[in-house]
């Protein structure tokens, strides 16, 4: 069977509008899972990071140990982190969320009074969710992983671009929130 001249899927092209139209539901599900895993992870991370961050600010002597623990957690490679958490959470989305929460702690604890921490943690989580593909809960990472295994160019490129779009949109959204809740910073620059 020969491919039609306009059949970019059969020719396995990187840019293929037909991929978008025929895989719309799959893409929307992957984006939804990606955003959900990212959002839940950062929110839980904020809730966990706030008390030690306040403690470290209030009693300076606690800053060293708090930062040491969170920094050690951040240095664990993602595959190792998921492997270490596997006995506790099994192959589940909770495994991915727990790993992302632990990674976000360093970023959030170091920046308790500013939006920089949540912004960096959110963008970092967007990228790290893709690693969850190794356990089947990686949002767009699932599509990137399977696309790379089968060399499905349009799938790899589309899922990768969508990850970048989510990261940029999350950063812009949090920047807008930062400007809303800190109007004095705009006045100082003017």
3-state helix, strand, coil in the chain (%, to 5): 80, 0, 20
Q: Is residue 96 one of the residues assigned to a domain?
A: yes
Question: 78 by DSSP, 3-state: which?
Answer: helix
Number of domains in the chain: 1
DSSP tag of 108: H
Is residue 149 a contact partner of residue 142, using CB atoms and an 8 Å limit? Answer: no
Question: 169 by DSSP, 3-state: which?
Answer: helix
Instruction: Give the chain's residues under pLDDT 70.
Output: 1-6, 113, 185-190
Q: Is residue 117 one of the residues assigned to a domain?
A: yes
Q: Is residue 6 one of the residues assigned to a domain?
A: no
Q: Tell me: the pLDDT tens digits for 17-72?
A: 999 999 999 999 999 999 999 999 999 999 999 998 888 888 889 889 998 999 99
Q: Is residue 20 one of the residues assigned to a domain?
A: no
Q: Is residue 17 one of the residues assigned to a domain?
A: no
pTM: 0.86
Question: 135 by DSSP, 3-state: which?
Answer: helix
Q: Is residue 33 one of the residues assigned to a domain?
A: yes
CATH number, domain containing residue 53: 1.10.3720.10
pLDDT at 62: 87
For residues 102 and 168, what is the distance between their CA atoms, to the nearest angstrom? 22
Q: Is residue 18 one of the residues assigned to a domain?
A: no
List the domain range (segments joined by +) for residue 70: 26-180
Q: Which two tokens stand for residue 111?
A: 């920046």
């Amino acid at each position: 069977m020969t491919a039609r001249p306009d059949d970019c899927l059969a020719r396995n092209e990187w840019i293929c509008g037909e991929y978008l139209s025929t895989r719309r539901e799959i893409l929307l599900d992957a984006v939804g899972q990606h955003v959900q895993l990212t959002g839940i992870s950062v929110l839980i991370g904020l809730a966990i990071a706030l008390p030690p961050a306040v403690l470290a600010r209030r009693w300076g002597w606690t800053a060293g140990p708090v930062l040491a623990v969170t920094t050690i957690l951040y240095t664990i490679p993602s595959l190792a982190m998921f492997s270490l958490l596997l006995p506790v959470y099994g192959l589940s989305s909770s495994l991915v969320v727990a790993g992302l929460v632990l990674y976000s702690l360093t970023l959030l604890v170091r920046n308790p009074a500013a939006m920089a921490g949540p912004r960096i943690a959110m963008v970092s989580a967007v990228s790290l969710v893709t690693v969850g593909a190794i356990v089947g809960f990686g949002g767009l990472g699932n599509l990137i992983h399977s696309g790379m295994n089968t060399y499905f160019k349009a799938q790899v490129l589309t899922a990768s671009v969508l990850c970048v779009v989510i990261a940029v949109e999350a950063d812009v959204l949090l920047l807008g929130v930062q400007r809303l809740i800190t109007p004095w910073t705009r006045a100082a620059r003017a």
